[in-house]
Chain A
Amino acid sequence: MTDISAFDHSKEARFGDYVALLKPRVMSLVVFTAMVGLLVAPVPVHPFVAFTAILFIALGGGASGALNMWYDADIDAVMRRTRSRPVPSGRVGAGEALGVGLGLSGLSVMMLSLAGNVFAGLFLAFTIFFYAVVYTIWLKRRTPQNIVIGGAAGAFPPMIGWAVATGGIAPESLAMFALVFLWTPPHFWSLALFMKEDYSNAGVPMLTVTHGRPATRRHILAYALVLAPVALATAFTSIGGPLYLAVSIALNLAFVVGAFRLLRRDEVVAEADGYRAEKRFFRFSLAYLFGHFTALLAEAALHSFNLGGW
């Protein structure tokens, strides 16, 4: 007979640890952008079907997060920001994370295919593959372009939302993709600027590690400048309108000015004030994306009252 108290259960996983495997904060971005993609599409979707579809898109995103935590357990253990995650802290086994990731991937793809359509389901499967395999396994440890290409995975959800409603791809859904895709690098590079030694300790070739901080600041500005016309051009598609244009002009001006400000700072100044401008730019980048998608949603709402649009 085995004495149950002979085992150490202090590190046993709680339900919340399995939820943490799904990266709930990343999931909230996926939920919001997918919801906007679905609601701005020209084809109305039954509210319950829409709810279910968004839920399973989010679950698919969570599944890819679990797969990422399975593969990256070794570098997560080194980085201060990630060392308390369930796998590196020992509360959830790596094999368990893999099982949860694969199981939820299958469930979410199947359920999205049934709730929405097969195209949307396959698109979600491709997104999970892109994040877990292309980004996490192939790119993350090899190239400083990791988050540039890997950013596509985070940019697909609004396209999947659009695909749930329409069953396909359109210039409008590509515009939403481009917005998130080009926003991702400056967002993460500003984080890498004030996360100091984390990435270099873990051996992840972030731009700050391979090309240095001044080069990273130049890249942030370059992407902000490329992002602005793309964000503004979306105003002239069928999902845009004057309200979106006004919001986009204001947000892009502030984004480019913020990026210029980062470029003019050096490490001595940044270190002296505790990376205040970098942290502010990072926080603003979240508001930037949220603002654009909220404006698209507002345009769609105005459309239903025969207002909005051009």
Chain B
Amino acid sequence: MAITRDHELHTRRFGRNLGLGLLLAALVVLVFGLTIAKVERGDPMQAYDHQPRVDLLPSEPGK
């Protein structure tokens, strides 16, 4: 049987769920913003896929 009417419990818990949801969304925005800030600043970046890692490349003679 489908629940057709919210129990008082659900309305009370809505605030808690909404708060947690907004916090998680804020964390995502924060990590994204941090990534942009660090990339813009030119911090050395090394990914583990789709591109060669600078540390693992053989050094060229004379360099």
Interface residues in chain A, defined as those with a beta carbon under 8 Å from any beta carbon in chain B: 4-5, 9, 12-15, 18, 46, 48-49, 52, 55, 114-115
Q: Tell me the nearest residue of chain B to A13, going by C-beta.
A: B16
Question: Inside 8 A of A18's CB, which chain B residues have their CB?
Answer: 16, 19
Question: Inside 8 A of A55's CB, which chain B residues have their CB?
Answer: 30
Interface residues in chain B, defined as those with a beta carbon under 8 Å from any beta carbon in chain A: 7, 9, 12-13, 15-16, 18-20, 30, 33-34, 36-38, 40-41
17 A-B contacts, Cβ less than 8 Å apart? A4-B7, A5-B7, A13-B16, A14-B12, A14-B16, A15-B18, A15-B19, A18-B19, A46-B38, A46-B40, A46-B41, A48-B33, A48-B34, A49-B34, A49-B37, A55-B30, A115-B34
Question: Inside 8 A of B12's CB, which chain A residues have their CB?
Answer: 9, 12, 14
**C-alpha gap A297/B24 in the complex (Å):** 32
**C-alpha gap A63/B41 in the complex (Å):** 30
Question: Inside 8 A of B20's CB, which chain A residues have their CB?
Answer: 15
**Contact (Cβ within 8 A) B9 A49:** no
Q: Tell me the nearest residue of chain A to B30, going by C-beta.
A: A52
Question: Inside 8 A of B34's CB, which chain A residues have their CB?
Answer: 48-49, 52, 114-115
Determine chain B's interface SS by DSSP, over half rule.
helix
**Contact (Cβ within 8 A) A14 B15:** yes
Determine chain A's interface SS by DSSP, over half rule.
helix
**Contact (Cβ within 8 A) A4 B15:** no
**C-alpha gap A249/B5 in the complex (Å):** 66
A48-B33, A115-B34 known; A4+B19 contact, CB < 8 A? no
Q: Tell me the nearest residue of chain A to B18, going by C-beta.
A: A15
**Contact (Cβ within 8 A) A9 B9:** yes
Question: Inside 8 A of B7's CB, which chain A residues have their CB?
Answer: 4-5
**C-alpha gap A15/B12 in the complex (Å):** 10
**Contact (Cβ within 8 A) A49 B15:** no
Q: What is the minimal beta-carbon distance from A297 to any residue of chain B, in angstroms?
A: 22
Q: Tell me the nearest residue of chain B to A5, going by C-beta.
A: B7
**Contact (Cβ within 8 A) B19 A48:** no
Question: Inside 8 A of A13's CB, which chain B residues have their CB?
Answer: 16
Question: Inside 8 A of A15's CB, which chain B residues have their CB?
Answer: 15-16, 18-20
**C-alpha gap A183/B51 in the complex (Å):** 53
**C-alpha gap A55/B36 in the complex (Å):** 17
Q: Tell me the nearest residue of chain B to A50, going by C-beta.
A: B37
Q: What is the minimal beta-carbon distance from B59 to any residue of chain A, in angstroms?
A: 27
**Contact (Cβ within 8 A) B37 A46:** yes
Question: Inside 8 A of B37's CB, which chain A residues have their CB?
Answer: 46, 48-49
**C-alpha gap A115/B16 in the complex (Å):** 28
